[in-house]
A and B are shown apart, each in its own frame.
Chain A
């Protein structure tokens, strides 16, 4: 006995396949719903969109009020505006501490990075400020610096690439390879060269930076063959570290290393040498 087919043929309707190729059919199903855009906030000729509007819009409504331009000069062209900073010659930090938001009803809201009512309030204000700051100025995007003094002589570029947005880098510790130590009374005779055991290597595949060889320097226990300098010791480092970085001497070790330690004589306020 044949199986009962619940579906029976009907000859009352027919379908014209040619409509499948029409814009009206497609636009309501797939092609018409698919938009393609090359850039945010910009229309490109290859975009698939309505009229000439950008496919994706992401506009900021914030204007930031600048407070300082901190210049960092090329060597030999003068000191940096702020000697606490790690120098990036030819660059400047543009600092900001307020911004205004233009709301959709054209009203204005003014916000500051400082709360002004104690430490907790300051931190909340800072967190709120950076929630707007990071999306408005992502690394790799551009920013316009616009003086409001129309008579000011200036040659600013229309826009600048943003290399970093997270704050200002302040120098802490400089590490350099230790030079060879010469034997007393024997010019050009190397007593030992702990710097030959120095290691500094970064690998892009692992994101690892090795700052010491496995065994260290046999001339001194844990001596990694380097000299070091502190910067901003009282301003920064004592917040989290108050110990010493000195290598421990062993029986054959020499801890008073640099023959030319390069102390003093600059524009900074040296506290002097000594064990920390």
Chain B
């Protein structure tokens, strides 16, 4: 447990000792605000954060892999992985330590979007429950993307390669559930397969949580997704740590 906490603490601090955290936060906050207002936040004349949450998956497709790409690729490139795994730390503790540190960092980024909440509350009487489930869904989605990024970061020593691979993997999972993709696929794929793809997509589960309904199937989708990719990351690291 202590080793997990040590890795967690070190990793979280390392975001803020390098310019990475600040660059990431500024860009994320700028675009999350910009996309919301560009897509007609005022024109809708409704005090809710639907537009804000609607744009998050697209933003996360690029932003989360950029926060995750260094997790293991850098350790392997610099060689500090040799130090880490000659200390009394198991691979699982190290992977979880890094994952949760990065997740907390993304939570901080999401928490810093609080001016949006204040704006909405100032302009009208929003449904607070909806906003809370919206944030919860966003957090779970960030965790899912992060687990994918974590895996691809362990796959390659090169941060650019791991970034590109995780962006593609995240984008596939998001776009698989978009209405345009669905209608295109249903032209030549059997309905069963199309709906299977839809239920595997981030978008579907994220939207369902956003509507304010916390269903077991949506929660378990994200939890299983995270566990699966993290387990895969542990296996890949065990194989490749010395490569």
A pairs with B: no
